[in-house]
Amino acid sequence: MFYIIDILGTISFAISGVLVALNKRMDPFGIFIIAFVTATGGGTLRDILIGSTPVFWMENMIYVYVIAITTILAVIIKQRIDYLRTPMFLFDTIGIGLYTLVGIQKGINLNFHPLICISLGTISACFGGVIRDILCNDIPVIFRNEIYATACIVGGISFFLLRELQVESNLIYLISGFIIIAIRLLAVRFKISLPSVYSDDEVV
């Protein structure tokens, strides 16, 4: 289950990166690079922080192959993907839900405190998107007042609460991932955001 979640998260983030790169009208090399850093950036930072080197995609080439194949297929079927109302947002949301769980499990495997595990999950989920947005000259979503990293944190807390209740492990993954995705979708749907520290009449 853990490995499947990891691969699905890689695919979701790779598609998210491809769609952003296509919107920026990048060349094929640029599209692949954006897809790659979106899918691996958060996990790479996580592995460096925990001292797990070489990082995951260097040790297991399946991630590189999955990203390359996903990039090619996403470009080919771009017109079909565009039928979705907000395709980049959808795949990015699925990605953060899945990668949060991957980061949390990495921390659990190393017997870290739950707060550290949740931090690793949030880093895994969010920082690939941060690198993607910076390379594409956009303000990263995590630095705006949108519900993004907050959803990962709530999902992480839910993960450990379910563990304390001794819920079956596969159900913990499913429920926690659903909570993260649902919070992000509902926040965007109903325009729920974090409070701003700036007044409406303040000049930036």
Would you kindly state where each structural domain of the chain is located, as residue ranges?
2-189
Q: What is the pLDDT of residue 160?
A: 97
> For every one of its 204 residues, what pLDDT tens digit does the chain have, with 9 covering 90 and above?
778 888 988 998 998 899 899 889 999 999 999 999 999 999 999 999 999 999 999 999 999 999 999 999 988 887 666 554 466 688 889 999 999 999 999 999 999 999 999 999 999 999 999 999 999 999 898 888 788 999 999 999 999 999 999 999 999 999 999 999 999 999 988 888 877 776 665 544
Q: What is the pLDDT of residue 199?
A: 64
Q: What is the pLDDT of residue 56?
A: 94
* Total residue length of the chain: 204
Q: Collapse the DSSP code of 193 into the 3-class scheme (helix H, G, I; strand E, B; otherwise coil) and give the result.
A: strand
CB proximity list for 67: less than 8 A, separation 6 or greater:
10, 14, 32, 35, 36, 39, 40
Half-sphere exposure of 73 (CA within 13 A, CB side): 11
Enter the tokens of residue 67.
């990203």
pTM: 0.88
Q: What is the pLDDT of residue 142?
A: 84
Q: Alpha carbon of 42 to those of 36, 78, 94, 95, 130: distances in Å?
A: 11, 25, 15, 11, 9
